[in-house]
Amino acid sequence: MSLVGALRGKGPSGFGYDSTAEDVTAGLDLTGRTILVTGCNSGLGLETARVLALRGARVVGAARTEEKAREALAPFAGEHLPVACELSEPASVRAAVQVVAEKAGPLDAIIANAGIMALPERNVSHGLELQFLTNHVGHFLLVTGLLDRLAPTARVVMLSSTAHTNTYAEGIRLDDLDASRGYTPWGAYGQSKLANLLFAKHLATRLPAGQTANSLHPGVIWTNLGRHMNPVVGFAATLISPLFLKTIPAGASTQTYVATHPDVAATTGEYFADCNIAKPSAHGRDAALAEALWTKTEELVAAL
Ligand SMILES: NC(=O)c1ccc[n+]([C@@H]2O[C@H](COP(=O)([O-])OP(=O)(O)OC[C@H]3O[C@@H](n4cnc5c(N)ncnc54)[C@H](OP(=O)(O)O)[C@@H]3O)[C@@H](O)[C@H]2O)c1
């Protein structure tokens, strides 16, 4: 057990900071379930896909290219479906929706895991800041494109972050989504992760009974996500990682828990951390902001 895990203990779910994706699925038979995981080739997505496959699920693994997805899924037993999905390119996301719709059958869960973090410079594509485009708009297109492919008890699981608390003062700058009024790497990342959270919160109000949508913070884990960070910070992170950061198997647990565990089959519109329900920021609880973001994103994707 880690120092942090020992201090925090376990929550009401019976799981906690140190629980791994294997722990939270112990004894579960996921045979017959089909689960889409974006970003299946690295970090938390790769570990999530591995454990889902280990428990018998069929993984629809999305990565920027089909080749990357195929390589990631190759070591797993069972039949899985690799899909190309470059989230910052609407044409690629729409093509992925087509492939999944044609080849995957009903989806029991979508784990919207892929993401980028804290780009040092402002990047704009399709008129949108790149973290907002990739983390939020790409997943919005993917998930809403697949709503009619969800199984009656399907679960949509959005990777947010505790960084959603570290956004701009107004939460989401709906009138400045290309960040032309000012850009900070963490402000833009926080905004995109707040968008992931609010997307799940609002989606939960639109899904039919039986289907759920939730978001989560996976913990702080040293992965390729830190590739844009200062190398000195990165080196320091690898040094402190064993003491103060989660392992990748523990980092993959909350999304795996929310996507598969019977105890949360009916839980919807919530935010999780360490495999338990947690309280998001005031912006993260703002239903009006969630609805405004949804409406704005619908307008954006219609023009893309
Ligand atoms: N690690 C943490 O401490 C932490 C904390 C809070 C939240 N999270 C969230 O957890 C999720 C997983 O992060 P991670 O730590 O596992 O990071 P990671 O190892 O960098 O994995 C991110 C995945 O997203 C994919 N991706 C990035 N941009 C993409 C794009 N434009 N189109 C399609 N796929 C794209 C990456 O593909 P490539 O390998 O091809 O780039 C990779 O498969 C992210 O949403 C992140 O925001 C992580």
Q: What is the pLDDT of residues 183-195, one digit of tens each?
A: 999 999 999 999 9
Q: Please state which of the ranges 42-56, 98-112, 236-250, 282-296 shows the lowest mean pLDDT.
A: 236-250
pLDDT of residue 64: 98
Q: Which residues contact 205 (CB under 8 A, 6 or more apart)?
A: 269, 287
pLDDT of residue 293: 98
Query: pTM value?
Result: 0.97
Q: Which residues contact 87 (CB under 8 A, 6 or more apart)?
A: 38, 93, 114, 133, 134, 135, 138, 139, 142
- For the cut 70, the answer to whether the pLDDT of residue 232 exceeds it is yes
Mean pLDDT, residues 34-47 taken together: 98
- Give catalytic residue positions: 183
CATH topology for 3-303? Answer: Rossmann fold (3.40.50)
CA dist., res. 11 & res. 276, Å (int): 6
- For the cut 70, the answer to whether the pLDDT of residue 224 exceeds it is yes
Q: Which residues is 285 bridged to in the sheet?
A: none
- For the cut 80, the answer to whether the pLDDT of residue 140 exceeds it is yes
Candidate of 164, 222, 223 to mutate for ligand 1, largest count of ligand atoms within 8 Å of Cβ: 223
pLDDT of residue 272: 98
% of the chain at pLDDT higher than 90? 89
User: What band does 241 get if pLDDT is binned at 50, 70 and 90?
Assistant: low
**Which residues have any ligand 1 atom within 6 Å of their CB?**
39, 41-45, 63-64, 68, 85-88, 113-117, 134, 159, 161, 217-218, 220-221, 223-225
pLDDT of residue 9: 86
Domain boundaries, the chain: 3-303
Question: Buried (b) or exposed (e) across 239-276, using 16+ Cβ within 10 A?
Answer: eeeeeebbbbbbbbbbbbbbbbbeebeeebbbbbbbbb
pLDDT of residue 271: 98
User: For 262-300, what is each residue's pLDDT tens digit?
Assistant: 999 999 999 999 999 999 999 999 999 999 999 999 999
Q: Which residue has the higher pLDDT, 59 or 4?
A: 59
User: What band does 60 get if pLDDT is binned at 50, 70 and 90?
Assistant: very high
Candidate of 225, 240, 256, 271 to mutate for ligand 1, largest count of ligand atoms within 8 Å of Cβ: 225
User: What band does 7 get if pLDDT is binned at 50, 70 and 90?
Assistant: confident
| In 132-184, alpha helices (H) | 139-145
- Supply the residue whose CA is at minimum distance from atom 1 of ligand 1: 221
> Separation of 37 CA from ligand 1 center, angstroms?
11
SS3 (DSSP) at 81: strand
- For the cut 90, the answer to whether the pLDDT of residue 245 exceeds it is no
